[in-house]
A and B are shown apart, each in its own frame.
Chain A
Amino acid sequence: MSPMTPDTAVLTEGLTKFYGSRRGIEELDLAVHAGEVMGFLGPNGAGKTTTIRLLLDFLRPTRGHAVVLGLDPRRDKAALHSRIGYLPGELTFPGRERARDLLRFLADLRGGVPWSRIGDLADRLQVDLAHPVRTMSKGNKQKVGLIQAFMHEPALLVLDEPTSGLDPLMQQEFLGMVRDARTAGQTVFMSSHVLAEVQEVADRVAIVRDGRLAAVERVESLGRRAVRSVEIHFADPVAADEFAGLPGVSGVSVTGPVLRCTVDGRLDPLVKAAARHEVVDLLSSEPDLEETFLSFYYHSEGDRDGARADA
């Protein structure tokens, strides 16, 4: 067992969970530093929620162990959970009460939270707490879930897919809350299957795939490597070989006046080349995690900073 330093908020060593013979996660070694925002990325079914539920002691590891805020998730559950704010990935609220009464109850369980703090969070997220939670839309339920996770200003926020159901404006508001939490010295560990939303606030991201930790990267280094798929509609047909040789551009295909390709890194060379023609439309889609991940693997073997991989 390696020593738990005060600046490590979450440490897992060889953390493994099998559900019978089905794999949850395998041999996960992960360290989240105190005060950082770490994004926890992976495709659906990769083991993100399993990891989070192990940290919260809903699940017990098959092998290995986790140390959270210096405490043992099982033995010190009550003490640990008073310092954690948790947002479940599948958010279901117990009971039929109004949101206000439910939050008051959850605050009581924590020994009391100033109501002004709950009110401030509700104002910030623009949610009316006078309605029963059961009747709320998915987005508003998610906001109530976020309020209960943030309201007691916990040392560690564990958020499972926090932006799901939020509209873009509220996603920005949420990201602001995460930044404020970091400023206040709180640690945030949030999972997502979309790189873009994590990229904006996270200091580092950990990527899981098929139950194993594939990489831990500083966000800047992932961003540089980001792959986009780009589609350009020209006024007139263009030739593919005009674009095929550009730096970072690959997978060029041309159908009449429409060019499709993927761009790894900066868009500038492609845009400059395209500008020689009359451009009707330009579509660039955010890289999905799988593409980023694959490009990460194909282009960066042996040149990762701070990365650990056991795949």
Chain B
Amino acid sequence: MVPALMRKTWRDDRRAILGWAAGVAAFTAVYSAFYPQFQGAAELKQDALPKGVLDFLGVADFLSPAGYLQASIFGLLGPLLVLMCTVTVVARTIAVPEEGGGMELLLANPVSRTAFAGQRLAAAGLAVTAVAAIPWLLLMVIVPAVDMDIPLSSVAAAGFGLVALAWCFGGLAFLVGAATGRRASVLAVTGIVAVATYMANAVSGMAQGWSWLRWWSPFHYFLGTDPLRTGWHPGSLLVLVLAGAVAVVAGVILFDRRDVGV
């Protein structure tokens, strides 16, 4: 039996969740299903852009199927969409109702603070996981359908990587919301960290002497192992999951200790 608070969370967030799910599904389907038609254009892009720019965009090449999927879906736009969904949905666990005032009535019920935070996050986390898993699930069907030559286990590895990336940033967003209770802080901190670590990962591959930077970037653990070509790297994915889990635990502890709705 799902707790009432989780069902309520889904009911209140369903428009946002369904909207993001539709957007991510359309994006994935359009980009991947048109792979055959993009082939000609891809060659032009490949020639037009200097190697350095391609590296910065996280694109090894546009020509191979793996290169194409990475460039179109996993390199930038996919994570961008999924992380925007993650941050906005996770912000609604604590920060949004706390600022809006609706949290008093929720918290005035016989649940401990910890259980409240846990159930709100579990509901948001399941929704975010479902949205983040959409590229994975769709590509398992579309990749064979359009004759892309990528092993399905590699597609799954990259697809799960996107889910793990969402957990990592979702954990951070939850931590900021649980600690501050402010939506703007959640969006600002998570957004800045996402952009900064994305750039750190890109720069580390290009500039001599900066390669250590990538160890600080979740994007390195997601794509740095080149999952579309090399398959599963459980160690890297575990880093993402653990980072998210640590942030969640810290968030629950801080939320349990502070004043609410000041």
Which residues in A have some Cβ–Cβ distance to B below 8 Å? 19, 53, 56-60, 77-82, 84, 86, 88, 90-97, 105-106, 108-111, 145, 148
List B210-262 residues whose CB lies under 8 Å from chain A: 257-262
Majority secondary structure, B binding face? helix
Which one of B3-11, B28-36, B183-191 is at the interface?
B3-11
- For A111, the chain B residues whose CB sits under 8 A away are 110
- Inter-chain contact A108/B4, CB cutoff 8 Å: yes
- Inter-chain contact B108/A88, CB cutoff 8 Å: yes
- Inter-chain contact B262/A59, CB cutoff 8 Å: yes
- For A95, the chain B residues whose CB sits under 8 A away are 8, 11-12, 102
- Inter-chain contact B104/A78, CB cutoff 8 Å: no
Please, what's the 1-or-0 string for B10-45, where 1 marks a CB less than 8 Å from any CB in chain A? Answer: 011000000000000000000000000000000000
Known pairs A58-B260, A58-B261; A97 contacts B11 (CB<8 A): yes
Choice from B11, B101, B107, B258 contacting A92 with Cβ under 8 Å:
B101
Those 7 A-B pairs whose CB atoms lie nearest each other, nearest first: A92-B101, A94-B102, A82-B110, A108-B4, A109-B109, A95-B12, A86-B108
User: Would you call B106 an interface residue if the criterion is a C-beta within 8 Å of the partner chain's C-beta atoms?
Assistant: yes
13 further A-B pairs in the complex, CB-CB below 8 A; given A95-B8, A97-B11: A53-B261, A57-B113, A59-B260, A60-B257, A77-B113, A79-B110, A84-B108, A88-B104, A92-B102, A95-B12, A96-B12, A110-B109, A111-B110
CB distance from B24 to the nearest CB of A (A): 24
- Inter-chain contact B12/A109, CB cutoff 8 Å: no
- For B5, the chain A residues whose CB sits under 8 A away are 109
User: Would you call B196 an interface residue if the criterion is a C-beta within 8 Å of the partner chain's C-beta atoms?
Assistant: no
| A243 CA to B57 CA, complexed, in Å | 90
Choice from B100, B110, B262 contacting A19 with Cβ under 8 Å:
B262
- Inter-chain contact B108/A81, CB cutoff 8 Å: yes
User: Would you call B146 an interface residue if the criterion is a C-beta within 8 Å of the partner chain's C-beta atoms?
Assistant: no
CB distance from A50 to the nearest CB of B (A): 10
| Size range of the chain B interface in the assembly | 20 to 34
- Inter-chain contact B109/A58, CB cutoff 8 Å: no
- For B7, the chain A residues whose CB sits under 8 A away are 105
Choice from A53, A57, A91, A106 contacting B109 with Cβ under 8 Å:
A106
User: Would you call B97 an interface residue if the criterion is a C-beta within 8 Å of the partner chain's C-beta atoms?
Assistant: yes
Query: Please, which residue of chain B has its CB at the minimum distance from the CB of A80?
Result: B110
| A82 CA to B109 CA, complexed, in Å | 7
Residue in A58, A80, A84, A94 whose Cβ sees the most chain B Cβ within 10 Å: A94
Which residues in B have some Cβ–Cβ distance to A below 8 Å? 4-5, 7-8, 11-12, 97, 100-113, 115, 257-262
- For A148, the chain B residues whose CB sits under 8 A away are 105
- For B100, the chain A residues whose CB sits under 8 A away are 92, 94
In the complex, 26 of the A-B residue pairs with CB atoms within 8 angstroms, ordered by the A residue number, are A19-B262, A58-B107, A59-B259, A59-B260, A59-B262, A60-B257, A77-B113, A78-B115, A81-B111, A84-B108, A86-B104, A90-B104, A92-B105, A93-B105, A94-B100, A94-B106, A95-B11, A95-B102, A96-B12, A105-B8, A108-B4, A109-B4, A109-B109, A109-B111, A110-B109, A110-B110
| A145 CA to B101 CA, complexed, in Å | 13
| A130 CA to B23 CA, complexed, in Å | 33
| A111 CA to B101 CA, complexed, in Å | 24
| A93 CA to B108 CA, complexed, in Å | 12
- For B106, the chain A residues whose CB sits under 8 A away are 94
- Inter-chain contact A81/B11, CB cutoff 8 Å: no
CB distance from B100 to the nearest CB of A (A): 6
| A57 CA to B108 CA, complexed, in Å | 9
- Inter-chain contact A94/B110, CB cutoff 8 Å: no
- For B108, the chain A residues whose CB sits under 8 A away are 56, 81, 84, 86, 88
- Inter-chain contact B101/A90, CB cutoff 8 Å: yes
- For A80, the chain B residues whose CB sits under 8 A away are 110
- Inter-chain contact B105/A58, CB cutoff 8 Å: no
Query: Please, which residue of chain A has its CB at the minimum distance from the CB of B101?
Result: A92
- For B110, the chain A residues whose CB sits under 8 A away are 78-82, 109-111
- Inter-chain contact B111/A78, CB cutoff 8 Å: yes
- For A97, the chain B residues whose CB sits under 8 A away are 11
- Inter-chain contact A94/B4, CB cutoff 8 Å: no
- Inter-chain contact B112/A78, CB cutoff 8 Å: yes
| A58 CA to B261 CA, complexed, in Å | 7
Query: Please, which residue of chain A has its CB at the minimum distance from the CB of B104?
Result: A88
- For A86, the chain B residues whose CB sits under 8 A away are 104, 108
- Inter-chain contact B105/A106, CB cutoff 8 Å: yes
